[in-house]
Copies of this chain bind each other. A is one copy, B any other.
Amino acid sequence: MAKVVISLTMSLDGFIAGPGDDFDHPLGARNGMKLFDWYTSGTGPGVNNDGRFKPKGKNQEVVEEMFAMAGASLTGRRTYDIAGGWNGTHPVNGVPVVVLTHRPPKVVPQGKSKFMFTDDIAEGVRVAKTAAGDKDVGIAGASVAQQCLKAGLVDEIYIHIAPMLLGDGVRLFDHLGDDSIDLEFIDAITTPEATHLRYRVRR
């Protein structure tokens, strides 16, 4: 059964993008791009097809394992738009992508990824799990992550903390209400470029 995992890179102050994120600046108009330095700080041949991801040291294992476990992506319409639908091929193995939206686009870029659209969060998780098979559903985007957390639909949180304070931008953990959620620490991988913290969500 597929696990639902929030796997995102976050500044120590909780932002997954800087202010002013849009199509031309997917991680914010300034500073936000540094969040992803850990993906590109190495000198190796690169993990993915286009060779953009060249993590250094133990970060390489982290990314390889994330790629190996990726079964489907569950994302919001805003992230889908900002990414331009990834030109039809999700950067992680061209996995299928489920997009939460009230307005499915009329035209979808053609590539390796299959795209599915729904306006119901529980349905989105169900569809993504089926698509993922025995691999993971990765949640991308703050709003979808928050909706899934509030609905009790998240199994694990895998946060990659970049060594910076962004000050402003898109907060990952926000609008969660004031009920606390207990986490169970699974493991951590620490490198100078990023700290990778994995938790199980207690239900």
Which residues of B sit under 8 angstroms from A163, Cβ to Cβ?
A: 182-185, 199
A42 at the interface (CB under 8 A from B): no
Please pick, from B157, B173, B187, the residue contacting A14 in the complex, using a CB distance under 8 A: B173
Task: Tell whether A109 is near chain B: CB-to-CB under 8 Å.
Answer: no
Which of the 9-residue segments A78-86, A87-95, A129-137, A189-197 touches chain B?
A: A189-197
Q: Is the CB of A195 within 8 A of B197?
A: yes
Nearest CB in chain B: distance from A75 CB, A: 20
Chain B residues within an 8 Å CB radius of A19: 178
A155 to B14, CA, bound (A): 20
Residues of B within 8 A of A183 (CB): 12, 163-165
Q: Which of A13, A157, A187 has the most CB of B within 10 A?
A: A13
Using an 8 Å CB-CB cutoff, how does the interface string of A144-172 with B read, 1 for contact, 0 for none? Answer: 00000100000001010101111111001
Chain B residue with Cβ nearest A163: B183
Interface size class of A (residues with CB under 8 A): 35 or more
Please give me the residue from chain B that is nearest to A32 by CB atom.
B180
Closest B residue, CB atoms, query A166:
B180
Across the interface, A180 reaches (CB within 8 A) one of B31, B173, B188, namely B31
A68: Cβ under 8 A from any B Cβ: no
Count of identical protomers in the assembly: 2
Contacts of A177 in B (CB 8 A): 167-168
A178 touching B173 in the complex, CB below 8 Å, given contacts A13-B14, A163-B199: no
Complex contacts, A50 vs chain B, CB 8 Å: none
Closest chain B residue to A175, Cβ basis: B167
* Minimal Cβ-Cβ distance residue in B for A174: B13
Chain B residues, CB < 8 A from A114: none
**B contact residues around A191 at 8 Å (CB):** 185
The complex places the Cα of A181 from the Cα of B162 at a distance, in Å, of 11
Report A104-159 residues with CB < 8 Å from chain B CB. 149, 157, 159
Nearest 6 Cβ contacts at the A-B interface? A13-B173, A168-B178, A31-B180, A188-B190, A167-B176, A163-B183
